[in-house]
Amino acid sequence: MNIINLFRISLKALYSNKFRALLTMLGIIIGVAAVIAMLAIGQGSKQSIQDEISKMGSNMLMIQPGADMFQGARMSASATQTMVLEDYEAIKANCTYLAAVSPMVNANGQAIYGSNNTPVGMQGVNEDFLHIRKFTINSGRMFSEREIAVSAKVCVLGQTVVEDLFGAGVDPVGKSIRYNKIPFEVIGVLSEKGENGMGQDQDNVILAPYTTVQKRIMAITYLQGIYTSTTNEEVTQKAKAEVEAIMRSQHNIKEGDSDDFNVRSQQEMLTMFSSTSTVMTILLAVIAGISLIVGGIGIMNIMFVSVTERTREIGLRMAVGARGRDILSQFLIEAVLISVLGGIIGVAIGVGSASIIRNTLHWPVVITSFSIVLSFAVCTFTGVFFGWYPAKKAANLDPIDAIRYE
């Protein structure tokens, strides 16, 4: 019997037991719909974190004092004061894969304008920092090399600071604010950047020449970090190795001794966040697997019922010339049809509920074709796997017994 006829027979058998077929499919439908929707949400949040991280800067490479901070061990104060301006200069002079390099010192304090005040961090950087963090100037200008050289008391404000100090719609360029009691002239305003992936407001910031922050506010000579930007994504690893080599020679670290600094790239942050969502994806896959096994057992159960009910039909088909393999394919196709139809409905419901979540809750949702293809593959497999035993039982029936079956 050819495959089209087998499909017609199976469809007919399902159609004459519509409600039962639907109930059997329900296990598969729920499993697939849940997987599609959850993967879409997981993928969506992963994607948005990735977007946020890449918005944070252009191929950033961050050099910080102390061993890898991600391990969580707290450094002693002296261990965090090992990074100096010479390190920055050496990197800037010798590193071939970097497009921009900026020192970094962070001061904490209050900004005051008139009767308004707001707690805000002041980042001491150079003019390259705009490119590294993908900041742009909205009005006014960035401070110049000369202003850095003379530790000028000038600053550039983020949008949040402008709103907090001046209220909306006011251009603060040319006005004077006080930061930790020291007067600063506002020479520029940054364009709005919004929250980053961790929910931090990136506009609540004041940029000032690093020399100014070092000398006038913090009274320190060391750097708290060096921010750099590689020329492109491909050279990140090479740039990192190069920076590490320069830093080790700068700090006279012998072979085998551990670094007193760490270099992290934006890409590593991406992978770190991706790995948490990989764990989530595996968990989802396990849940999906379990629900599909449950659905598959439902199919197996109903296929046994179907084979028993149609014993006489099987006997008759054999009497008029059906071979075991014809009967086997007939029931196998029926099982696969149940699971694949269930899969189609499940995908539709999954995609539908994902869109509803996007439109009502405004969560980021990304439906990948991979998850849909995977669902169908798993459904087909489930149908074949759980349909096999009942179908084999049908195929092995003795025609004489089957045709006399009451």
Partner 1 sequence: MSEIIKALNLKREFMVGNQKVLALKGISFAVHAGEFVTFMGASGSGKSTLLNILGCLDTPSEGEYLLDGISVKSMSKNERARLRNRKIGFVFQTYNLLPRTTALENVELPLMYNPEISSHDRREKAKMVLEAVGLANRMDHTPNQMSGGQQQRVAIARALVNDPVIILADEATGNLDTRTSYEIMALFQQLNANGKTIAFVTHEPDIAAFSQRSIVLRDGRITRDEVISKPASAADALAGLPKEEE
- Strand, helix or coil for residue 351: helix
Residue of the chain from 3, 321, 361, 362 that contacts partner 1 (CB under 8 A)? 321
Q: Minimum Å distance from CB 399 to partner 1?
A: 5
Does 11 bind partner 1 (CB under 8 A)? Our answer is: no
Nearest CB to partner 1, comparing residues 5 and 271: 5
Work out whether 5 is an interface residue with partner 1 (CB under 8 A): yes
Identify whether the C-beta of residue 44 lies closer than 8 Å to the C-beta of residue 365. yes
Residue (68 or 326) nearer to partner 1, CB: 326
If you search the block for the tokens 């790995």, which residue do you land on?
275
314 binds partner 1 (CB under 8 A): no
Specify the pairing of strand 154-157 against strand 205-209. Answer: antiparallel
Q: Please check whether residue 350 is in contact with residue 368, taking contact to mean a CB–CB distance below 8 angstroms.
A: no
Total residues at the site for partner 1 (CB under 8 A)?
22
Residue 326 near partner 1 by CB under 8 A: yes
Residue 312 interacts with partner 1 (CB under 8 A): yes or no:
yes
Nearer to partner 1, 12 or 238 (CB): 12
CA 406 – CA 401 distance, rounded (Å)? 10
Q: Which of 324, 355, 374, 376 binds partner 1 (CB under 8 A)?
A: 324
Nearest approach, Cβ of residue 380 and partner 1 (Å):
25
Q: Residue 188's beta-bridge partner residues?
A: 140, 156
Binds partner 1 by CB under 8 A, chosen from 73, 77, 93, 320 = 320
Q: Which of 38, 22, 43 is nearest to 345 (CA)?
A: 22
- Which two three-digit tokens encode residue 194? 């919004």
d(CA 135, CA 142) in angstroms, rounded, equals 11
Give the nearer residue to partner 1 in terms of CB position, either 16 or 369. 16
Under rule CB under 8 A, which residues in 380-399 are in contact with partner 1?
Answer: 399
Q: Which stretch binds partner 1 (CB under 8 A): 125-133, 135-143, 270-278, 317-325?
A: 317-325
Taking the least distance from each CB to partner 1, the nearer of 95 and 322 is 322
Q: Taking CB under 8 A as the rule, does residue 258 contact partner 1?
A: no
Q: Is 174 in the site for partner 1 (CB under 8 A)?
A: no
Dihedral over Cα of 226, 151, 93, 251: its sign: negative
Please report how close the Cβ of residue 39 comes to partner 1 at its closest, in angstroms. 40
Closest CB to partner 1 among residues 89, 309: 309
Alpha carbon distance 197, 184 (integer Å): 31
Q: In this complex, which beta carbon is closest to partner 1, that of residue 233 or of residue 398?
A: 398
Tell me how many helices (H) and strands (E) the chain has.
13, 10
Is the CB of residue 175 less than 8 Å from the CB of residue 166? yes
Beta-carbon contacts of residue 123 (< 8 Å; ≥ 6 apart)? 104, 105, 106, 129, 205, 206, 207, 208, 213
Nearer to partner 1, 1 or 305 (CB): 1
Q: Rounded to an integer, what distance in angstroms lies between the CA atom of residue 210 and that of residue 83?
A: 14
Report residue 120: phi and psi, to 5°: -155, 145
Nearer to partner 1, 366 or 403 (CB): 403
Stretch of 1-9, 92-100, 172-180, 184-192 lying at the interface with partner 1 (CB under 8 A):
1-9
For residue 120, count CB atoms less than 10 angstroms from its CB and return exposed for 0-12, middle for 13-18, buried for 19 or more.
buried
- Which of 114, 136, 221, 323 lies at the binding interface for partner 1 (CB under 8 A)? 323
Which spans of this chain sit near partner 1 (rule: CB under 8 A)?
A: 1-2, 5, 12, 16, 312-313, 315-326, 399-400, 403
